[in-house]
Amino acid sequence: MIRAGFYRDSSDRLVGFSVSGHAGYAEYGQDIACASVSSAVMLTANTVTEAFGLKAEVKVEENEISLKLKQPDDTGDKLLLGLLTHLYILSDEFQGRIRITFTEV
């Protein structure tokens, strides 16, 4: 199962995410659910840091990536909302393979 945790601040703005795990939809290297999530996550992280130049702490490990905005703002919130929306769509397509949670920070 892929676990996608999103972080919100006290103003209900999205300020980061952590995604880990494997969907188990198919064998390693053939899993389109994992590939879809990985691509969306990397696109979002690169858009936040490279295209928009927002300062963020990004950690990439073997089966996990996390991003936390250093100065949360409306632009970052909207970019992360795009990822969240996409993951909801994927969770409908690959039911039982993606779990989305929220934590206030």
pLDDT digits (tens, 9 = 90+) for 82-92: 999 999 999 99
The domain locations on the chain are 2-104
DSSP E strands, 9-97: 14-21, 56-61, 64-69
What is the model's pLDDT at position 28?
Answer: 83
Question: CATH 3.30.70.1490: does it fit domain 2-104?
Answer: yes
- DSSP class of residue 54 equals -
DSSP state of 31: -
**Strand partners for 57:** 68
Q: Is 100 exposed, middle or buried (0-12, 13-18, 19+ CB in 10 A)?
A: middle
- 77 token code pair: 């919130």
Query: What are the pLDDT digits (tens) for 12-49?
Result: 999 999 999 999 999 888 999 999 999 999 999 999 99
Give the model confidence (pLDDT) of 48-104 as tens digits.
Answer: 999 999 999 999 998 999 999 999 999 999 999 999 999 999 999 999 999 999 999
User: How distant is the alpha carbon of residue 59 from its chain centre?
Assistant: 12
